[in-house]
């Protein structure tokens, strides 16, 4: 008696205990769901000790969190009427008074830098003392701001379009906490909505804290939509195939418990819910249903054969248990390869996916036979699908193709390989933070608004270490920074930079009685007496601290970038680095490019390298697994080709349809490969069994295996196809692409396994048609069929 026969006896004899155990574990995991929390930061795809992370952390240590800026924009000429102008400024004052806000910067806060000749210092004066009451006063304020204060250009206004911008800085200590979410949804949005209605103005809102909050809420909303959609579509397809409410209900029960476990494991491991981990529950539904297809199909076949429930249930566990375990292990191992990647985001995804795939297998194997044991035998109408004519026609067509048109299959394969390779060369890489965000949402339109008006919303920081205290304020350093500023301004993808040089130029303008033509760096002669005024002033100390650290050793240059791809950003980086290398010799300066957006782009590039490693590892592991199972070197080659081919086609499609490689689509290959190998294992296991029964005659064994496994493989592939297609309901571009690409890949994998795989077996007939090459496998996937008494 083998292991699975014993296991079947134990499960069925102790069914009440097994169900009680499942109920207890489900209850315990459900209690862990309270520890689930959503990520409040962008996904960091890099290892903690990566150079980009170290540089970013160094920047944060000196200047603090740079992603705490929310910006409000308004493009409406009527805002320059007294009522609306004052309402706009009062809105900002209202925000300034809130506990969550550090400070605001708007027209109402504008301070003019003026020179006090008697005291030899600079002083700050408000742009206006009292709220304007006439259009003439508003026009005067606007003219002063637009014509005489270039320091605020691109900070508070766009001179060309008349657009106004207000900066709201959220307190850094709450920026990565749930308080930020509450503030955005319960305070910021309601106040802005009320202002818009009262003043008939359209306020644009953006900034990384705002975008991250709305994005996290979208992820939260979509989990329910994904789970509901996956359950509905798989239930409908399952019912279409089996025409049994009972079978559909049992399957839904299994996957719903699986989803509860999935959420429970997220809480138990204390992982945050990200765009990736949010895919786990629907993924478990989609992968769990094929297990039910194999188990219920086998149960119904057995009942049709001999009509004995006890024997049918025992055979379901003993005969299908091992095969489904093998297929689930290969699927889990495809995901588990992410555990070896240094990126925490992918490692967590790999751990959760592999643990839950094994869990859903155990749940299906235990629950389905036990629940059927309490139910009456299936009626004849429930077994009719086993003889359905249309599925027979599909299998007949596949057999005809393999029997008579193998050359056509190989020719089509070669054409597909060539087309796939051409497509691969067209693939682009995208490291955009916002590309996957829902295009239909208003906050995405607002991002595009700020890109066109002010040059972007994603901060790019340049940290300059002069290696000396007070080294920043040397005129030589300032001139080098200005050279770098001018290079940044030459890129249409970047906004006008802000740094200490802007303040120094403003100081010179103030020294020359506010004349805008003197908004430039001082000469060597001017430097000494302008800086003497600066030293006597407290007025610009507050402004200075945003650009220079307290020791005067470190300076920052801040610019904002548009939603650009990795290729463009790489070109910009190269040019900036060339200017840095020329202007800032390494023996005197350390200059680093950093910021959230740049870390994300570098993370994408890092991820692509790791994709190659993890996919190669998955292929290697599964090759070893095949070698161990079938004890045949030829079998490794024959089994991998039908599974690598769909991956090549998918990569080609990504190239032809301009779907870039990015963190969301990068998973397609590992997911699809892990799942598609399942079909290969089922087919080869059945083929091996038929080979022994047919005394090593290849042809009858291949056709018998094709007829036997074709129906189940067709069912499971259709379920998987439509299951992953539910991901296209998402509003996130990456998730839509992931769902569509995995669906297509799995459909191609089914065709490949049912046409190319048997064709290869027949073509390599002489090589593998003997016991010496195709040895007794290490384990029997399917036990030999027993003769009915």
| Angle value at C-alpha 464, between 459 and 465, nearest 5 degrees | 140
Per-residue pLDDT, 382: 60
Does residue 91 lie in a domain region? Answer: no
**Residues in Cβ contact with 180 at an 8 Å cutoff, skipping those fewer than 6 apart:** 40, 100, 170, 174, 209, 213
Please indicate, yes or no, whether residues 334 and 394 belong to a single structural domain of this protein: no
Give the whole-angstrom CA distance, residue 446 versus residue 655.
30
* pLDDT per position as a tens digit, 444-501: 889 889 988 988 888 889 999 999 998 998 999 999 999 999 999 988 888 899 999 9
Please indicate, yes or no, whether residues 715 and 774 belong to a single structural domain of this protein: yes
HSE-up (13 A, CA, CB side) for residue 602:
20
Does residue 204 lie in a domain region? Answer: no
Q: Is the pLDDT of residue 785 over 70?
A: no
Does residue 357 lie in a domain region? Answer: yes
- 289 is in which domain, residue-wise? 1-35+222-387
Q: Are 111 and 124 in contact (CB under 8 A)?
A: yes
CATH of the domain at 702: 1.20.1640.10
Does residue 569 lie in a domain region? Answer: no
Please indicate, yes or no, whether residues 233 and 367 belong to a single structural domain of this protein: yes
User: Strand ranges (DSSP E) for 432-588?
Assistant: 458-465, 554-561
Residue 430 backbone class (left: φ over 0; alpha: ψ -120 to 50; beta: rest)? beta
Please indicate, yes or no, whether residues 662 and 734 belong to a single structural domain of this protein: yes
Give the whole-angstrom CA distance, residue 276 versus residue 203.
32
Q: Is the pLDDT of residue 31 over 70?
A: yes
Widest Cα–Cα separation across the chain: 116
Give the whole-angstrom CA distance, residue 646 versus residue 621.
18
C-alpha closest to that of 580 among 589, 570, 571: 589
Q: Which of 358, 387, 416 is the last residue of a domain?
A: 387
Q: Is the dihedral of CA 284, 290, 296, 299 positive or negative?
A: negative
Q: Global pTM? A: 0.77
**Residues in Cβ contact with 388 at an 8 Å cutoff, skipping those fewer than 6 apart:** none
| Angle value at C-alpha 642, between 688 and 673, nearest 5 degrees | 105
Q: How many CB atoms lie within 10 A of CB 440?
A: 7
The CA-based dihedral angle spanning residues 450, 454, 458, 461, taken in that order and rounded to the nearest 10 degrees: -170
End-to-end CA distance of the chain: 19
Please indicate, yes or no, whether residues 710 and 721 belong to a single structural domain of this protein: yes
Please indicate, yes or no, whether residues 252 and 401 belong to a single structural domain of this protein: no
Please indicate, yes or no, whether residues 398 and 328 belong to a single structural domain of this protein: no
Q: Which of 387, 410, 436 is the last residue of a domain?
A: 387
User: Which DSSP helix (H) or strand (E) runs through 126?
Assistant: strand 121-126
Does residue 517 lie in a domain region? Answer: no
Instruction: Report the relative pairing of strands 101-105 and 121-126 from DSSP bridges.
Output: unpaired
Q: Is the dihedral of CA 396, 397, 402, 405 positive or negative?
A: positive
Please indicate, yes or no, whether residues 360 and 421 belong to a single structural domain of this protein: no
Does residue 414 lie in a domain region? Answer: yes
For the ranges 360-364, 502-506, 701-705, the one whose mean pLDDT is highest: 360-364
Residue 755 DSSP symbol? I
Does residue 585 lie in a domain region? Answer: no
| Residues found in the chain | 789
Please indicate, yes or no, whether residues 403 and 367 belong to a single structural domain of this protein: no
Please indicate, yes or no, whether residues 408 and 301 belong to a single structural domain of this protein: no
* pLDDT per position as a tens digit, 488-544: 998 888 889 999 999 889 888 988 888 999 999 998 888 877 777 776 655 444 566
Per-residue pLDDT, 605: 77
Q: How many CB atoms lie within 10 A of CB 375?
A: 10
Confidence of residue 567 (pLDDT cuts 50, 70, 90): confident
Please indicate, yes or no, whether residues 340 and 411 belong to a single structural domain of this protein: no
Does residue 744 lie in a domain region? Answer: yes
For the ranges 18-22, 176-180, 494-498, the one whose mean pLDDT is highest: 18-22
Please indicate, yes or no, whether residues 319 and 331 belong to a single structural domain of this protein: yes
Q: Is the pLDDT of residue 787 over 50?
A: no
Q: Which of 387, 416, 449 is the last residue of a domain?
A: 387
Per-residue pLDDT, 355: 94
Confidence of residue 705 (pLDDT cuts 50, 70, 90): confident
Number of domains in the chain: 2
For the ranges 240-254, 258-272, 288-302, 327-341, the one whose mean pLDDT is highest: 258-272
Per-residue pLDDT, 359: 95
The rounded mean pLDDT for the chain is 83
What would the DSSP string read from start to end of 277-294? GGGHHHHHHHHHHHHHHH
User: Which DSSP helix (H) or strand (E) runs through 415?
Assistant: helix 406-424
């Amino acid at each position: 008696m083998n292991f699975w026969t014993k296991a079947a006896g134990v499960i069925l004899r102790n069914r009440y205990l097994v169900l009680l155990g499942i109920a207890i574990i489900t209850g315990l995991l459900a209690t862990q769901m309270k520890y689930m929390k959503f990520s409040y930061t962008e996904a960091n795809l890099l290892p903690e000790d990566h150079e980009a992370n170290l540089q970013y952390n160094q920047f944060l240590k000196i200047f603090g969190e740079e992603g705490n800026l929310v910006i409000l924009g308004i493009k409406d000429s009527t805002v320059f009427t007294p009522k609306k102008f004052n309402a706009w400024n009062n809105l900002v004052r209202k925000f300034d008074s809130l506990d969550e806000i550090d400070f605001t910067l708007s027209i109402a806060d504008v301070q003019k830098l003026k020179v006090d000749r008697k005291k030899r210092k600079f002083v700050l004066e408000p742009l206006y003392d009292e709220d304007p009451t006439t259009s003439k006063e508003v026009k005067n304020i606007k003219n002063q701001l637009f014509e005489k204060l270039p320091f605020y250009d691109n900070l508070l206004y766009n001179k060309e379009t008349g657009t106004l911008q207000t900066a709201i800085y959220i307190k850094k200590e709450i920026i990565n906490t749930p308080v930020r979410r509450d503030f955005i949804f319960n305070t910021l949005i309601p106040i802005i909505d009320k202002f818009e209605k009262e003043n008939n103005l359209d306020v644009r809102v953006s900034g990384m804290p705002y975008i991250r909050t709305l994005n996290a809420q979208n992820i939260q909303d979509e989990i329910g939509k994904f789970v509901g959609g996956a359950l509905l579509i798989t239930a409908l397809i399952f019912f279409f195939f089996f025409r049994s409410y009972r079978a559909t209900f049992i399957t839904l029960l299994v996957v719903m418990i699986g989803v509860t476990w999935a959420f429970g494991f997220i809480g138990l491991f204390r992982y945050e819910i990200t765009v990736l981990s949010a895919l786990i529950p629907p993924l478990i539904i989609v992968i769990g249903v094929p297990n039910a297809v194999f188990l219920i199909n086998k149960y119904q076949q057995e009942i049709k054969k001999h009509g004995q429930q006890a024997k049918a249930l025992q055979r379901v566990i003993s005969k299908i248990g091992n095969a489904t375990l093998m297929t689930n292990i290969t699927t889990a191992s495809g995901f588990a390869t992410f555990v070896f990647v240094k990126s925490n985001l992918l490692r967590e995804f790999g751990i959760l996916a592999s643990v839950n795939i094994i869990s859903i297998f155990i749940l299906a194997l235990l629950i389905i036979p036990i629940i059927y044991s309490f139910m009456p035998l299936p009626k004849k109408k429930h077994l009719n699908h086993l003889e359905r004519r249309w599925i027979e026609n599909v299998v007949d067509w596949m057999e005809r193709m393999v029997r008579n048109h193998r050359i056509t299959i190989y020719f089509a394969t070669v054409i597909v390989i060539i087309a796939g390779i051409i497509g691969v060369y067209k693939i682009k890489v995208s490291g955009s933070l916002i590309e996957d965000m829902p295009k239909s949402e208003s906050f995405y339109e607002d991002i595009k608004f700020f890109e066109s008006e002010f040059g972007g919303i994603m901060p790019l920081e340049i940290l300059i270490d002069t290696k000396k205290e007070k080294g920043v304020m040397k005129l030589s350093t300032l001139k080098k920074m200005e050279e770098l500023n001018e290079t940044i301004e030459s890129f249409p993808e970047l906004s006008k930079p802000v740094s200490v040089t802007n303040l120094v130029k403003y100081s010179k303008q103030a020294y020359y009685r506010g004349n805008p033509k003197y908004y430039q760096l001082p000469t060597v002669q001017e430097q000494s007496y302008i800086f003497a005024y600066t030293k006597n002033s407290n007025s610009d100390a507050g402004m200075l601290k945003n650009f220079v650290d307290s020791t005067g050793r470190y300076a920052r240059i801040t610019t904002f970038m548009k939603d650009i791809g990795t290729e463009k950003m790489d070109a910009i980086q190269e040019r900036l680095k060339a200017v840095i290398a020329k202007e800032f010799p390494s023996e005197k300066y350390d200059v680093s490019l950093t910021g959230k957006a740049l870390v994300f782009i570098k993370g994408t590039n890092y991820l692509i390298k790791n994709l190659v490693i993890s996919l190669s590892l998955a292929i290697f592991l599964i090759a070893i697994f095949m070698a161990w199972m079938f004890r045949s070197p030829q079998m490794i080659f024959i089994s991998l080709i039908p599974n690598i081919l769909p991956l090549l086609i998918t990569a080609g499609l990504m190239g032809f349809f301009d779907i870039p490689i990015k963190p969301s689509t990068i998973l397609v290959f590992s997911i699809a490969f892990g799942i598609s190998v399942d079909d290969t294992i089922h087919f080869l296991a059945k083929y091996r069994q038929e080979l022994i029964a047919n005394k090593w005659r290849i042809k009858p064994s291949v056709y018998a295996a094709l007829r036997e496994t074709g129906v189940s493989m067709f069912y499971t592939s259709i379920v998987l196809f439509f299951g992953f297609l539910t991901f296209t309901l998402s509003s996130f571009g990456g998730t839509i692409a992931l769902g569509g690409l995995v669906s297509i890949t799995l459909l191609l994998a089914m065709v490949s396994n049912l046409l190319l795989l048997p064709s290869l077996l027949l073509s390599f007939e002489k090589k593998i048609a003997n016991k010496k090459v195709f040895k007794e496998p290490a384990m029997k996937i399917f036990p030999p069929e027993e003769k009915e008494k």
